[in-house]
Amino acid sequence: MASPRPAPGSGDLPLDREPSRIEAMFGDIASRYDLMNRLMTAGLDGRWRRMAASEARLSPGGEALDVCCGTGDLAFSLVEACPACAVTGLDFTPAMLARAREKAAARARRGDPVPHAFLEADLLDLPFDDGRFAAVTVGWGVRNVPDVPRAFAEMARVTRPGGRVVCLESTLPSTSWSRRFHALWQGCVVPTLGRLVSGDRSAYSYLPASVAAFPGADELAAVMSRAGLVRVRYRRLGLDAVALHVGEAPA
């Protein structure tokens, strides 16, 4: 899977983002992942996930897939938005999935709605038939896969005609002041928080580097269109550093 380091925005995987290393990194921080998300986003990540779940436009009885689900927070937002829907979370990191299942069990004991299942699988080779899901979502995950165009092609493939693909992801800010602010926040504050909270500064130093190597918001919209999605649009959140993209499978 390793390849020469690509230019920013390409679909290829840099050497320091080899899948086995990504899996090990996220496995190491799984127990503190949720807390770090709250701290890194000043508590706004939950609101943004609810916005992404709303954009999925689920109806009772529908099926939804959340890929790169991590510890399950976007999958939980989906099932909260549509308790009568069957939501499946998918990830390739066992430690993250174990945490998601623990959270689901705790929610079930409280009587809260929970996803149908959390599965270990590869986004680049989804184990589902074409057109199965009413919506496919991904939150802060597609940035870590080795082939971004293929990832969206797979998400589009398993989305039923008229269904939606929703992507919530960090992005390079579009203005100079926001770029300066987020360079300081992600380059200095976040790694320090990572060291204090999780004991792993390197995992959170990876964040700004991975954002810089990921397609910008306009380019990502073009990637989604080339994957076969239509009416692709996005809006910026979080002082310009987060983008919420929505595309539709052709009817």
Residues 107-163 have pLDDT tens digits of 999 999 999 999 999 999 999 999 999 999 999 999 999 999 999 999 999 999 999
pLDDT at 195 over 90: no
The answer to the question of residue 109 being in a domain is: yes
Indicate the pairing of strand 117-120 with strand 159-170: unpaired
Query: Rounded to an integer, what distance in angstroms lies between the CA atom of residue 11 and that of residue 175?
Result: 25
Q: Give the type of residue at 137.
A: T
Domain that holds residue 99: 15-248
The answer to the question of residue 69 being in a domain is: yes
* This model's pTM is above 0.85: yes
Q: Give the type of residue at 248.
A: E
Distances (CA, A) of 242 to 142, 168, 169, 172: 13, 7, 6, 8
The answer to the question of residue 187 being in a domain is: yes
| Residue 31: other Cβ atoms inside 10 A | 13
The answer to the question of residue 111 being in a domain is: yes
Kindly report, residue by residue over 53-99, the tens digit of the pLDDT: 999 999 999 999 999 999 999 999 999 999 999 999 999 999 999 99
The answer to the question of residue 199 being in a domain is: yes
CATH of the domain at 210: 3.40.50.150
